[in-house]
Amino acid sequence: MESAVDPPFQKTYKTIFFKNEDEVESINKKSSLVVVEECELPLIDLSRLSPNNDSKTIADCKRDIAEASKEWGFFQVVNHGISREILERMHDEQVKLFRKPFNKKAKDKVSNFSPDSYRWGTPSATSLKQFSWSEAFHIPLTDISSASVGEPSSLRLTIEEFATTVSNLAQGMADILAENLGHSTTFFAENCLPNTCYLRLNRYPPCPISSEVFGLMPHTDSDFLTILYQDQLRSKLKGSSKLNRWSRARTVRSGRRLDRKPVQSTIEVISPFKIGDNGSNSSSVGEYDDDGSEITATAVAGAKEIYMVSDGTGWTAEHSVNAALGQFEHCLVDRNCSVNTHLFSGIDDEEHLVKIIKQAAKEGAMLMYTLADHSMAESAKKACMLWGVPSSDILSPITEAIAAHIGVSPSGLPRGAPGRKLPLGEEYFRRIEAIEFTIKQDDGALPQNLHNADIVLVGVSRTGKTPLSIYLSQKGYKVANVPIVMGVNLPKTLFEIDPEKVFGLTINPLVLQTIRRARAKSLGFSNDMKSTYSEMDHVRKELEVAAKIYALNPVWPVIEVTGKAIEETAAVVLRLYHDKKQKCLMPRISKRY
């Protein structure tokens, strides 16, 4: 009988548990995995990375981390810099959280986190093999700091401190792995979106069906980096007396079941792809078992492949696929259906096209294509049918619909083709002028020219003012950006120009701190400079100063940029800009063809 604390697994999923008794019996009797009696994980002492050590000691430690990632996929670390006190507090808070009645966990908002952060079971499961006997709080790190409204709770304060400290450890490991992949040490910090980072708190209740039915269902682990804390002294894991949670995760990668003696007071680093592979994006997740916590940074490994083929730059194909993938964020975030995308641009001959389709067939990839030439598009369609490659023609349906509507046949020529005329008209030179203006007006330069700008962006350092300005300028808008710095007065001209063309930018403080730390490291800031630039107290104060300025200027729209791509923020700015300019809510015709 399930307790009031546990989710009603059997009641809710009774069709899965009772429709096939043979499946339950087979799970009880056999396992397809080979059991290795005992395997000791590599143990790495991170104190060797201290700058006080000689260069050889530091280099040897980095080499050990790289080799452990390549040969094992995960390893243990000691002297990691995370205090025992915060680990114990995190454990105690998680125990209290999961001991709450199920109805309260399912219906109440915990510490103002997203209402859908609580999850349990596997709604898509059709058999026991697909079912996860677990409950979890899946919390974006961007929610952790933004949840700090009202009276602070001990849970929220502990989670924020835990997430910050463990994220620092994860970033240090990511820097080392990036270096071993041939990138700069700040590669992952600069290229991975902060809104793809998560703290996941998991609990695996006792399963009455069998000791062989685990809470963590078999899956392909798409994480780039996982930081797992497992308190081995508290109590034994439910389900299997021999295995801990990440031994089972290793099973998926190696085809074996690893039993090993844990080293007390260690933290494990899990890197599911080998050094030499190309991890392309990152997020972070934390997982809590009755006795442990974990933070993860992910890159896509062992994922579904999507090939994008274009006879031009590939912009249309890439943005169409990304827009469609946005409809599957709930799945991608949970790492149940990770996706890798590959762009092939400038494909203008059938021989090259066929090679790509053959490769897609070998990898089990899907093909999405934008080919203006009708014969090339037909060749792609036939080749995909021949080799059994699922495909979709992005461009042809739209082109044919427009052709039917306006009564004119399409040229069939990609942009930039020799037979296609692209005159350098007024719009081209207007964009060049806008780009030149925007570059000169970067970071508060030449404030006397603010009245000549179409758009003025205001915000604290690292809120994306410069890349957003450049992006908008490429669309023909003259953009100036003005930084908000504590102790420095904003230029008087900012308050003299038309306020309807000024836009404020704000961001989640935890995300801003992460971005600033990476920036400070890449620029080689001293410790004193780091403390006044990327420490949380300073970050919060700067954002508070910005908020007060925005409150004094209510006409300025304030845009939250956390988790938004530059294109998304730009779309918001332009919509608001034209709504104000046209004095109506109907978006204007942005361009005539």
Q: Which residue has the higher pLDDT, 51 or 109?
A: 51
Q: Does residue 305 sit in helix, strand or coil?
A: strand
Q: Which residue has the higher pLDDT, 416 or 468?
A: 468
pLDDT of amino acid 36? 45
Q: Which residues are paired to 258 by β-bridges?
A: 36
pLDDT of amino acid 583? 59
pLDDT of amino acid 94? 86
Query: What's the rounded mean pLDDT across residues 363-370?
Result: 94
E strand or H helix at 372: none
Whether the per-residue pLDDT at 337 is higher than 80: the answer is no
pLDDT of amino acid 454? 96
Query: What's the rounded mean pLDDT across residues 328-353?
Result: 77
Q: Decide: 252 and 245 in contact? Cβ < 8 Å.
A: no
Q: Does residue 13 sit in helix, strand or coil?
A: coil
| Residue 280 binned pLDDT confidence (cut-offs 50, 70, 90) | very low
Two structure tokens written together for 271: 């890197």
| Residue 286 binned pLDDT confidence (cut-offs 50, 70, 90) | very low
Q: Rounded to whole angstroms, how far apart are CA atoms 275 and 511?
A: 27
Pick the range with the lowest mean pLDDT from 48-62, 135-149, 304-318, 441-455.
Answer: 135-149
Whether the per-residue pLDDT at 544 is higher than 80: the answer is yes
Whether the per-residue pLDDT at 194 is higher than 80: the answer is no
pLDDT of amino acid 51? 84
Q: Rounded to whole angstroms, how far apart are CA atoms 456 and 399?
A: 37
CB atoms within 10 A of CB 405: 8
CA dist 541 → 109, 173, 194, 484, 533 (Å): 27, 29, 21, 12, 11
* Mean of per-residue pLDDT scores for the chain: 76
Q: Which of 57-71, 138-152, 462-476 has the highest mean pLDDT?
A: 462-476
Name the residue among 222, 221, 345 with its Cα closest to residue 280. Answer: 222
| H helices, E strands: number in the chain | 21, 19
Whether the per-residue pLDDT at 273 is higher than 70: the answer is no
Q: Which of 34-48, 128-142, 183-197 has the highest mean pLDDT?
A: 128-142
Query: What's the rounded mean pLDDT across residues 30-51?
Result: 68
Q: Rounded to whole angstroms, how far apart are CA atoms 274 and 173?
A: 14
pLDDT tens digits, one per residue of 198-217: 788 888 787 766 544 445 55
E strand or H helix at 74: strand 74-78
Give the start-end residues of each E strand in 185-280: 198-203, 225-230, 256-258, 267-270
Query: What's the rounded mean pLDDT across residues 266-273?
Result: 58
Query: What's the rounded mean pLDDT across residues 54-75?
Result: 86
Domains and CATH numbers, the chain: 35-252 (2.60.120.330), 304-406 (3.40.50), 426-581 (3.40.50)
pLDDT of amino acid 149? 46
| Residue 457 binned pLDDT confidence (cut-offs 50, 70, 90) | very high
Q: Rounded to whole angstroms, how far apart are CA atoms 417 and 285?
A: 46
CA angle, 274 then 272 then 343, to 5°: 75
pLDDT of amino acid 3? 59
Query: What's the rounded mean pLDDT across residues 381-400?
Result: 94
pLDDT of amino acid 489? 94
Residues 6+ apart with CB under 8 A from 424: none
Residues 6+ apart with CB under 8 A from 41: 72, 74, 75, 76, 260, 263, 268
pLDDT of amino acid 220? 52
Two structure tokens written together for 306: 């999507």
Q: Does residue 414 sit in helix, strand or coil?
A: coil
Name the residue among 242, 227, 327 with its Cα closest to residue 287. Answer: 227
Query: What's the rounded mean pLDDT across residues 81-93?
Result: 84
Whether the per-residue pLDDT at 283 is higher than 80: the answer is no
| Residue 529 binned pLDDT confidence (cut-offs 50, 70, 90) | low
Alpha helices for 183-304 (secondary structure H) = 187-191, 245-254
For residue 39, the one-letter residue type is C
pLDDT of amino acid 586? 46
pLDDT of amino acid 413? 82
Q: Decide: 308 and 341 in contact? Cβ < 8 Å.
A: yes
**Percentage with pLDDT > 90 across the chain:** 30
| Residue 331 binned pLDDT confidence (cut-offs 50, 70, 90) | low
Phi-psi region of 258 (alpha: psi -120 to 50; beta: other; left: phi over 0): beta
Name the residue among 230, 268, 229 with its Cα closest to residue 250. Answer: 268
Q: Which of 42-56, 127-141, 146-160, 536-550 has the highest mean pLDDT?
A: 536-550
Give the start-end residues of each E strand in 399-550: 455-459, 479-483, 502-506
Q: Decide: 138 and 200 in contact? Cβ < 8 Å.
A: yes
Proportion of the chain in helix, strand, coil states, percent, rounded to 5: 45, 15, 40
pLDDT of amino acid 420? 63
Query: What's the rounded mean pLDDT across residues 415-440?
Result: 81
CA terminus-to-terminus distance, the chain: 68
Pick the range with the lowest mean pLDDT from 4-13, 219-228, 409-418.
Answer: 219-228
pLDDT tens digits, one per residue of 236-257: 333 333 333 333 333 333 333 3
Q: Does residue 460 sit in helix, strand or coil?
A: coil
CA dist 383 → 172, 257, 353, 412, 528 (Å): 46, 42, 9, 20, 61
pLDDT of amino acid 531? 61
Q: Decide: 422 and 416 in contact? Cβ < 8 Å.
A: yes
pLDDT of amino acid 240? 34
Q: Decide: 476 and 434 in contact? Cβ < 8 Å.
A: yes
Alpha helices for 367-407 (secondary structure H) = 374-387, 395-406
Name the residue among 119, 330, 297, 118 with its Cα closest to residue 197. Answer: 297
Global pTM value: 0.51
With tokens 């020529």, the residue in question is: 413
